[in-house]
Amino acid sequence: MAFSEIAFKALQDVVGEGNVTTDPVICQSYSRVQWTADGCVQRSQLGVGMRPQCVVLPRSTEEVQSIIKLANRYDFIFIPRGTGMINSAFPNPAQAAMGKGVVIIDPKHMDKIIKIDKNNMYMVIEPYVNFAACQAEAMKVGCSVAVAPAGAQISALANIQWHGAYGNSWISGLGSNQLLSFEVVLPSGEILRSGNIAQEGAEEDWVWNDGPGPDLRGFFRGAQFGHAGGMGMVTKISMRLFPWPGPSVFPTQGDGILKESHFPKDKVRWYMIDFPADMQAYPENEERQLRWACDLQYEIARAELAIVVQHNAKQFMWTWAARSKEEFHKGAEEDFYPHGYTIVGTAAITSVEQLDYEEKVLKSIVEKMGGTFLSENSPDPLDRERYIKWMRITNDWIRVGHSMRLSRPSDCFHQGTACVDSIDTVTDEILRANIAQRKMREQGLGKDLLPISFHGGWISPTEKGYGALMTTDLWPEQEPEKAAQAIQFLLSSLKGMLVDKSAGAAVCLLGPAYDLLGPAFFNVHLIVKDLKKQFDLKNISNPPYATTPDVIAPEMLAEMTKVL
């Protein structure tokens, strides 16, 4: 479909000729394909229909505002973009079916860290600042940021306004916790500011999030997801920084995949904790192991220590620790990590004495529970190797993880399930997903997924154990049928959560899921549809997100959520 000439002309007037294009070759590179399973399925359904008609590169909030006003005037769809890693949670032929032009707003020119306030522990960023830059700059001033395993390369702003699961969620929480003040150009073109910056006279100060009056982070974010571009474009945010004991530059040695990173032991210490001897066999003892890991996490919560605490399932251990595809497949076959481990990191935020104290407490807790620490001196030589391989990369939980590792096993990746609630509840969901998916596999479904897909379970407690998030992950190959199987697994987990009244169901409402689940959730979809109608009169801000303005008819809903 050709893009409106007058709209294109107007966009040129706003951003200059060099910053807007309809060139099909350039636009194709913005088509919403990634190596995610939904991207793969979408591509098979839409082909070049996934190509936007136009891409525009604004330099400022004012230009974004003009672009969005033009979208209203000339009735085209706009998609706010971060770095384009993941644009949707469901296959989305809806946009293509609307028959309107689609413009991607690429924030590449809005790439500045505007301010770092080390005393008040926040950083103000534009949309194209990635996590690597945030972490590097934060560490220079004795701070650190929340660290998304999605990668160093992604937009920190995009992540924080829309999702956010972190390697150090123990101290940082979820994405919605990182969001302090924010500025967003709403779908109407109006500018909304929340926090200090909302108040004329206090706008230099980006320190705080809520008010004046109601906390508008609630309007803009959810626990798992924000509006996914369905409520305008965020142009600046301030994000939380956390105390960091140093070093101020991340220590690394080696090149490429051989790169390693080790902290001085008077700053940061890592622990890799194994289950008691009588529950080693996996998967027979999976439930006992995970419950043990929960008990350990609750004890660490009671002790109020550490900066990283998590249980990494077998699948996460090895996708992270393996350095190459070859090493991965070899190790997976040999069962290099036979089960999951609990990983704990402590930091000398108060002092070196604090590190010694925390080590003493951790050791006493683990000992009492019958667990052991792996180390370079573990009696079993294999354990030594397991420890050494993990320690090469464990700093990545602080540095900013590298999601490419997650895609490495099969060049494609999908979530098996996800949940946010207590440490115990998210563990229920890991067990549900693993058990159900293994059973389905016995019946032939998902036989094409890599075997490691069936050993999931990232227990990632948040806010020092007051809550938790978990995911399990699946590895199909980049073929639509295989990818579709992964998506079906996710949907069946979701159904299980609904039937069993799991907290996980409450946090997956987005897109068509609002219509699917809303009636079971106090008709919340009707309110969100009202929001969409009131704030996005023409339904042009990345539809169908956060939801469609009108209730979707059942047959249409079936079509929209059909996997393949």
Partner 1 sequence: MSSAAATTVQSIVEALAGVVGSENVHTDIETLKKYSCDTSLMPARMPDFIVRVMTRDEIMGVIKFANANRIPVVPRSSGTGTYGTGIPMEGGIILDLSGMKRIPRTDTRNRWVLLEAGVTFGEVNEELAKHGMQCLNPLLPRKDKSVITSVLEREPVLTCKTECDEPFRTAELVWGTGELMRTGAMSVDHMPPEDMPDKTHSDLCGCGGPGIDWWRLLTGCQGTFGVVNIMNVKIFHKPLKQKIVFLPFDRIEDAVMPLYTIQRREIGHECFLLNGMDLAAILAEDGADIAALAQKLPNFAIVLNLWGGQFFPNDRIAYEEKAIKDICDQFHCSVSEGLSAVRDANVQLQGMLNSPWQGDVYWKDRAKGACIEIVFQNGLDKVPALWNTFTKLAGDYGLDTRELGMYIQPRQRCRVCHVEFHIPCDPQGADLANVKAFQRRAAETLINEGAFFYRPYYDWADMIYARAGYTFETIKKLKNILDPNHTLNPGKILL
Ligand X SMILES: Cc1cc2nc3c(=O)[nH]c(=O)nc-3n(C[C@H](O)[C@H](O)[C@H](O)COP(=O)(O)OP(=O)(O)OC[C@H]3O[C@@H](n4cnc5c(N)ncnc54)[C@H](O)[C@@H]3O)c2cc1C
- Using the minimum distance from each CB to partner 1, give the nearer residue, 57 or 546: 546
CA–CA dist 79, 61 (Å, integer):
15
Measure CA 510 to chain center.
15
Q: How many residues bind partner 1 (CB under 8 A)?
A: 104
446 binds, among partner 1, ligand X, none (CB under 5 to 8 A by kind): none
Place of tokens 């997650």: 406
**Shortest approach of ligand X to residue 428 CB, angstroms?**
21
Cis bond upstream, residue 409 (ω within 30)? no
359 near partner 1 (CB under 8 A):
no
Nearest distance from C-beta of residue 528 to partner 1, angstroms: 6
Cβ at position 421, least distance to partner 1 in Å? 4
User: CB under 5 to 8 A by kind: which of ligand X, partner 1, none does 429 bind?
Assistant: partner 1
Q: Which two tokens stand for residue 422?
A: 């207590």
- Identify the CA nearest to 541 among candidates 230, 163, 206, 162: 230
Q: Which partner, ligand X, partner 1, none, binds residue 530 by CB below 5 to 8 Å per kind?
A: partner 1
Q: Which helix (H) or strand (E) holds 493?
A: helix 480-499
Sign of CA dihedral 536, 538, 540, 543: positive
The residue among 39 and 465 lying less far from ligand X, judged by its C-beta, is 39
Nearest to 386 by CA among 433, 347, 419, 338: 338
Nearer to partner 1, 406 or 528 (CB): 528
Spatial contact of 392 and 324, defined as CB atoms under 8 Å apart: no
Report in angstroms how near the CB of residue 413 gets to ligand X at its nearest: 4
Q: Which residues of 354-376 are buried (b: 16+ CB within 10 A; e: fewer)?
A: ebeebbebbeebbeeeebbbbee
Among 32, 51, 217, 408, binds partner 1 (CB under 8 A): 217
Chosen from ligand X, partner 1, none, partner binding at 163 (C-beta under 5 to 8 Å by type): ligand X
Residues 476-505 that bind partner 1 (CB under 8 A): 497, 500-505
From the number of C-beta atoms within 10 Å of its C-beta (0-12, 13-18, 19+), residue 444 rates as exposed
**Alpha-carbon span 435 to 493, nearest angstrom:** 11
Strand-pairing partners, residue 462, are: 467
Q: Which of residues 241-260 bind partner 1 (CB under 8 A)?
A: 242-243
Q: Give least dist CB 490 to partner 1, A.
A: 17
Q: Which residues bind ligand X (CB under 6 A)?
A: 36, 79-87, 127, 148-150, 154-155, 157-159, 161-165, 228-229, 233-234, 403, 406-407, 413, 542
- Segment 509 to 538, residues that bind partner 1, using CB under 8 A: 509-510, 514, 517-518, 521-525, 527-528, 530-531, 534-535
Q: Which residues pair with 470 in a beta bridge?
A: 419, 459
Quote the least distance from Cβ 192 to ligand X, whole Å.
12
Looking at the Cβ atoms of 240 and 399, the one nearer to partner 1 is 240
Q: Which is nearer to partner 1, 537 or 564 (CB)?
A: 537
Residue 72's CB is within 10 A of a number of other CB atoms, namely: 17
Q: Which of partner 1, ligand X, none does residue 528 bind (CB under 5 to 8 Å by kind)?
A: partner 1
- Picked from partner 1, ligand X, none, the partner binding residue 79 (CB below 5 to 8 A depending on kind) is ligand X
- Cα(507)–Cα(175) distance, integer angstroms: 13
Pairing of strands 102-105, 77-80: parallel
**Residue 119 binds which of ligand X, partner 1, none (CB < 5-8 A, kind-dependent):** partner 1
Minimal distance, residue 384 CB to partner 1, in Å: 29
